[in-house]
Amino acid sequence: MSRTLSNPPSVELLSAVSTFLINDIAPQVNGQSAFHIKVACNILNIVAREIENGADLNESVCEALSNILSDQKTGSDEAQDLQSLKAELSEVIKNDQIKNNAELLDALKMLTLKQLAIDNPKYSGYHQALKSNER
Amino acid sequence: MNAPTDTLIDNSLSGYLERLQTCCRKHFGSQVEVQNLSKLSGGASAETRRFILSDPNKRSSSAVILRTSSIQQGAEFSTSISKDCEAQIQKLCRSKGVPVPEIYFCLEEDDQLGEGYAMSCVEGETIPPKILRKDQYATARENMTDQCAQILANIHKIKPNDTTISLEDQSPLIQLEKLEQLYRQYNQLSPIFELAFKFLYKNAPKKHEITLVHGDFRNGNLVVNEQGIKSVLDWELCHWGDPIEDLGWLCVNAWCFGSELPVGGFGSMDALLERYSYYSGQQVDLEQVKYWQLFGTLRWGIICLFQLNCFLTGLNRSLELAAIGRRVSEVEIDLINLMEAL
């Protein structure tokens, strides 16, 4: 859930900017600028999704990465941020210290799906992965 | 990147038009005129301009493309071959039946136009979503897998002994090491990229043919009309290597634009392999293509990281580069989908 510090909520501010770009600016431009308006709206949508779900994502991904790390090797159990957890797991893989490759791939798939739900939930590979999970 | 290109009047260099006209008159006679000069695109490695060359005596005019080395200072992901070399390769490929623009002339130092060459402008569509979705390209899409197979088979018939053109030899392991070196520079570690590197090192083809490899053969570098592929562009990454690299790169999901068909968004892998074997006379192992597909996907991921890095370091603050960092998770899911199926 997004926390509203003031009104309108930030997600609605972003939506107002998107609507303005699409309805008022896009019809007046073409070529490269029209393409860049699409890119700009995509960026605003990413930010909106991140405001709504980013905190949850960060927390659950950090927890899952910590679990993977403690499953795969014995190490420090200190709380770490996302980047350093990724770096630590990368190091474990690089050094061939992975015990169960299939389990690791499954866990990483779950994390990537959560990240994609923010970055680009329309992506074909995202839907392909969701479909293969249903099987 | 597949941003549509604008027709911008190029006035970045004073006297450019006059020098270009002088140069064209040297090759085509004193009566020719350069008209409608415009800049199509400018990247870190090359600049592309288009102009109309008209000949009042013959009452004819034709569109010409001028490709020159970039004068911009900027980071480049891969080392491109020289523009002279690019022109020679295109001439060689054209002589072997590969559809490439005809090279008219190479620039010389006293032309004062930089390093580059002029070639025919092949009219057609290059933007993948249009090629994949518009009704007018329905027949083209049916033909393109077969055409890709035939074109690639012809490119791959060219062996190092067939030419004096000097190109880099890029075996899979050499390329992997270069990629890994770049990847580690960006400090954006991804456990999924690490898994892909592991697999690719372990399973690198030990023995393979060494042929000419286009190096960037994908939907986006193909000029297409209603019947299919008219021309293959962007030869700056060509090298000697494993020919299957080109087949794998063509099957990277980033060029499919939502289509479920893995070959550039227009064909099935079985069809590509069957047609390629037919034209090349070589049996191709599906596993090999999948190896290079995974390789290509990782390579695309590292190109995304490179562009992200250009944005973060302030080298290029464009909107497109801002967005591209968020495409890394697309590459990660593609890598997972591919590794699960191995």
Task: Inform me whether the C-beta atom of residue A127 falls under 8 Å from chain B C-beta atoms.
Answer: no
Binning pLDDT at 50, 70 and 90, where does residue B70 land?
A: confident
In the numeric block, the tokens 């479920």 are attached to: B260
What is the domain extent for residue A111? 10-134
Q: How far apart are CA A92 and CA B287, in angstroms?
A: 27
Binning pLDDT at 50, 70 and 90, where does residue B3 land?
A: very low
| Distant-in-sequence, close-in-space partners of B10: CB < 8 Å, separation ≥ 6 | B16, B37, B38, B39, B49
Q: Is the pLDDT confidence value at B71 over 70?
A: no
- The answer as to whether A117 is a domain residue is yes
Q: Identify the residue among B255, B259, B329, B342 best suited for mutation to test binding to A, counting A beta carbons within 10 A and taking the highest.
A: B329
Nearest CB among A31, A86, A122 relative to B191 is that of A86
- The answer as to whether A74 is a domain residue is yes
- The answer as to whether A79 is a domain residue is yes
- The answer as to whether A2 is a domain residue is no
pLDDT one-digit tens code per residue, B200-227: 999 999 899 999 999 999 999 999 999 9
In the numeric block, the tokens 């035939």 are attached to: B150
Question: In the structure encoding, which two tokens stand for residue B217, read together?
Answer: 């053969």
Q: Could you tell me which residue, A62 or B230, shows the higher pLDDT?
A: B230
Q: Is the pLDDT confidence value at B329 over 50?
A: yes
Cis preceding linkage at A8, omega within 30: yes
- The answer as to whether A29 is a domain residue is yes
% of chain A beyond a pLDDT of 90: 60
- The answer as to whether A62 is a domain residue is yes
Task: Inform me whether the C-beta atom of residue B323 falls under 8 Å from chain A C-beta atoms.
Answer: yes
Q: Could you tell me which residue, A134 or B304, shows the higher pLDDT?
A: B304
Nearest CB among B194, B323, B329 relative to A93 is that of B194
pLDDT one-digit tens code per residue, B166-189: 999 999 999 999 999 999 999 999
Chain A residue with Cα closest to B318: A36
User: Which residues in chain B are closer than 8 Å to A108, comparing Cβ atoms?
Assistant: 191-192, 195, 332, 336
pLDDT of residue A76: 58
Q: Is the pLDDT confidence value at B36 over 50?
A: yes
- The answer as to whether A67 is a domain residue is yes
User: What are the backbone angles phi and psi of residue B240, rounded to the nearest 5°?
Assistant: -90, 135
Binning pLDDT at 50, 70 and 90, where does residue A133 land?
A: confident
| Distant-in-sequence, close-in-space partners of A107: CB < 8 Å, separation ≥ 6 | A64, A67, A68
Tell me the three state secondary structure of residue B68. Answer: strand
Task: Inform me whether the C-beta atom of residue B126 falls under 8 Å from chain A C-beta atoms.
Answer: no
pLDDT one-digit tens code per residue, B86-111: 999 999 999 999 999 999 999 999 99
User: What are the backbone angles phi and psi of residue B318, rounded to the nearest 5°?
Assistant: -70, 155
pLDDT of residue A90: 95
**Number of compact structural domains in chain A:** 1
Mean pLDDT along residues B221-235? 97
Q: How far apart are CA B239 and CA B217, in angstroms?
A: 12
Q: What is the ipTM of this complex?
A: 0.92
Question: In the structure encoding, which two tokens stand for residue A11, read together?
Answer: 């997600």
Question: In the structure encoding, which two tokens stand for residue A123, read together?
Answer: 């992506």
pLDDT of residue B4: 42
Long-range own/partner contacts, residues A65-73 (CB < 8 A, 24 or more apart): A65/A89, A65/A111, A67/A107, A68/A104, A68/A107, A68/A108, A71/A99, A71/A100, A71/A103, A72/A97, A72/A98, A72/A99, A72/A100, A72/A104, A73/A97, A73/A99
- CA angle B210-B211-B217, nearest 5°? 125
Q: Is the pLDDT confidence value at B72 over 80?
A: no
